[in-house]
């Protein structure tokens, strides 16, 4: 899928070198089609890194995607240059009159804080409520998934005894679900979090299905019956060195952190980690965009309200 992003977005040069299918704004204007409109609510502190990771996995299907980036107006980002935010990001007030085929809500390093104590919680709740009438399908990642499950279904998160950190094996639990088409029966995905949600709580909600689970990492992939809301508790979008960089950061801060599980070859941090989750990540986002965004969103996007 050619992704239409600003030519001078830092991710552009990185992904172009990786041969990810990109489209300049000028070329996109000449395409006589209705591109999918995807808004990314980026809650991660290192926004440029997260943009690149998510755009990488969005660039693997055969339709055009227009991307908009949103930040919280009630939170000041300390790890991304202000000039980047001013140039490439919008706020909720800028987009609230718009309609979108899909939305991605990223993770955030705040899972050890009560939801209501997060400084932008009220703003995020407003976005999640707005998404019910202005976005056809919402894809929640890690803390974003926990936040969505709590807001929409009152499902609580629970503190783990130690950080869930590494590459974990998962198995699918609904073999014929469209979101899982092409999946192997078992697959790998990264996790990096201090909290979890329980399968028993999700199973009490008649409108939710658990689609994939891990013996070690717990529930991984959850969706409502129509896949208007999808929740992923891990980070399939992570690149090769994301866990390594997090590990080095935690060590430098003298935190009690285990080496990332099943990540370094022979547990040797001097050997380049192998990527064993990318095909799953690409397929997950491809299936979401194809079966639950492109195939189902009304051509006239404002008719999202009618289709609810």
The set of catalytic residues is 142, 235, 237
How buried is residue 252: exposed, middle or buried, by Cβ count under 10 Å (0-12/13-18/19+)?
exposed
| Cβ atoms 181, 159 nearer than 8 A | no
| Cβ atoms 234, 212 nearer than 8 A | no
Phi and psi angles of residue 126, each rounded to the nearest 5 degrees, phi first: -60, -40
Phi and psi angles of residue 54, each rounded to the nearest 5 degrees, phi first: -70, -40
| Cβ atoms 24, 7 nearer than 8 A | yes
CA distances from 281 to 54, 82, 90 (A): 10, 30, 27
| Cβ atoms 35, 65 nearer than 8 A | yes
Closest CA to 87 of 8, 18, 166, 17: 8
**DSSP H helices in 59-134:** 82-88, 92-95, 121-134
DSSP, collapsed to helix, strand or coil, labels residue 176 as coil
Q: Compute the distance between CA of residue 125 and CA of residue 114 in angstroms, rounded to an integer.
A: 14
- Structure tokens that stand for 125 in this block: 């709740």
| Cβ atoms 13, 76 nearer than 8 A | no
Q: Which residues does 197 contact at the CB level (< 8 Å), separation at least 6?
A: 145, 146, 149, 155, 156, 157, 158, 218, 219, 233
């Amino acid at each position: 899928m050619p992704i239409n992003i600003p030519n001078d977005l830092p991710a552009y040069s990185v992904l172009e070198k990786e041969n990810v299918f990109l489209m300049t704004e000028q070329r996109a204007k000449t395409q006589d089609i209705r591109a999918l409109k995807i808004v990314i609510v980026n809650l991660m502190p290192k926004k440029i890194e997260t943009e690149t990771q998510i755009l990488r996995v969005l660039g693997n299907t055969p339709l055009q995607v227009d991307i908009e980036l949103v930040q919280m107006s009630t939170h000041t980002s300390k790890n991304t240059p202000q000039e980047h935010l001013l140039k490439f990001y919008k706020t909720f007030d800028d987009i609230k009159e718009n309609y979108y085929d899909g939305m991605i809500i990223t993770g955030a390093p705040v899972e050890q804080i009560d939801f209501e104590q997060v400084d932008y919680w009220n703003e995020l709740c407003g976005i999640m409520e707005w998404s019910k009438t202005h976005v056809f399908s919402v894809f929640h990642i890690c803390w974003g998934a926990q936040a969505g499950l709590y807001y929409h279904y009152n499902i609580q998160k629970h503190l783990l005894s130690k950080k869930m950190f590494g590459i974990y094996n998962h198995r699918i639990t609904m073999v014929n679900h469209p979101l899982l088409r092409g999946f192997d029966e078992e697959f790998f995905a990264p996790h990096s979090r201090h909290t979890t949600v329980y399968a028993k709580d999700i199973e009490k909600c008649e409108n939710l299905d658990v689609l994939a689970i891990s013996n070690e990492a717990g529930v991984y992939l959850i969706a409502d019956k129509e896949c208007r809301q999808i929740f992923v508790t891990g980070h399939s979008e992570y690149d090769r060195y994301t866990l390594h960089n997090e590990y080095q950061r935690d060590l430098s801060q003298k935190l009690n952190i285990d080496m990332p599980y099943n990540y370094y070859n022979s547990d040797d941090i001097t050997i380049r980690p192998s990527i064993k989750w990318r095909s799953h990540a690409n397929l997950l986002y491809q299936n979401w965009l194809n079966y639950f965004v492109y195939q189902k969103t009304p051509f006239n996007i404002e008719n999202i309200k009618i289709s609810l």
